[in-house]
Amino acid sequence: MASVLVPVAYLAVLVTARLVFSHFYKKRLASQPMEPYFPSHPERNTYVTLLQKTDPPTPDVVLKSALVRRAMADVQRVLRIREDKPALQNLLQKGSIGDELWNSLLAAEKELEGEIVEVVNEANSFVDGWGPVIFQTANEMLANEQMRKIFESTTERKAELALKYGVKLEATDTETAQPQRQAQTSTPTPSKSKLTNGLSPPVNAGVESAASSDAESHQSPISPRSKAAQKGKKRK
Residues 152-158 have a mean pLDDT of 82
pTM: 0.57
User: 80-110: b or e for each residue (b if 16 or more CB lie within 10 Å)?
Assistant: ebeeeeeebeeeeeeeeeeeebbebbeebbe
Q: Which of 175, 145, 169, 141 is nearest to 157 (CA)?
A: 169
**Among 26-35, 58-67, 144-153, 169-178, which range has the highest average pLDDT?**
58-67
Nearest-angstrom CA–CA distance, 25 and 102: 16
Strand partners for 57: 54
Q: Is the pLDDT of residue 235 over 50?
A: no
Q: How far is CA 45 from CA 35, 48, 67, 114, 221, in A?
A: 19, 5, 11, 15, 107
**How many C-beta atoms surround the C-beta of residue 138 within 10 A?**
21
Q: Is the pLDDT of residue 202 over 50?
A: no
**The amino acid at 27:** K
Residue 167 is given by DSSP the state P
Q: Identify whether the C-beta of residue 107 lies closer than 8 Å to the C-beta of residue 38.
A: no
Residues 35-61 have pLDDT tens digits of 788 988 999 999 999 999 988 899 999
Residues 165-196 have pLDDT tens digits of 877 766 554 444 444 445 554 444 444 444 33
Type and span of the H or E element at 99: helix 99-126
What is the predicted pLDDT for the residue at 220? 42
What is the predicted pLDDT for the residue at 131? 92
Residue 151 pLDDT level (bands cut at 50, 70, 90): confident
Q: 212 vs 169, which has greater pLDDT?
A: 169
Residue ranges covered by each domain of the chain: 14-165
**How many C-beta atoms surround the C-beta of residue 25 within 10 A?**
12
Q: How far is CA 139 from CA 92, 115, 127, 143, 199, in A?
A: 31, 16, 19, 6, 70
Residues 79-131 have pLDDT tens digits of 999 999 999 999 989 888 878 889 899 999 999 999 999 999 999 999 999 99
Q: Which of 146, 144, 141 is nearest to 67 (CA)?
A: 141
What is the predicted pLDDT for the residue at 105? 93
**How many C-beta atoms surround the C-beta of residue 70 within 10 A?**
25
